[in-house]
Amino acid sequence: MLLQLDLVTKAIISTCFLEIVAALAHWSGLAAGHGAAIVIAIIGVVVLGLVGINVMRMAHQPRITQVVRQQMRWLNLIAIFIVIFAQW
């Protein structure tokens, strides 16, 4: 199903996941040291992977594709703000 998505959608999804995981790792690193950062990052990857699988299942349906793209763009913007906020 991943191959059915166009390049822009793949880039949005992957960027969003990476940014959210980076923010989670950064926050946990500030709170409890580097060991917790790795654990939180792994949990984040698993949870976001499960969400991504559901998105991929929906994305192959043409009428839902635009909605999924819009949601992913919003998620990407939110993730960027989370990463910027986490750097403070």
Instruction: Give the pLDDT score at 33.
Output: 57
Q: Angle of helix 34-59 relative to helix 7-32, nearest 10 degrees?
A: 160
Give residue-wise pLDDT tens across range 3-56. 555 656 666 676 677 777 777 666 666 555 556 556 666 666 666 666 666 666
Instruction: Give the pLDDT score at 17.
Output: 72
Instruction: Give the pLDDT score at 1.
Output: 47
pLDDT at 77 over 50: yes
d(CA 88, CA 7): 32
d(CA 21, CA 86): 12
| Whole-prediction pTM | 0.33
Instruction: Give the pLDDT score at 47.
Output: 65
d(CA 44, CA 40): 6
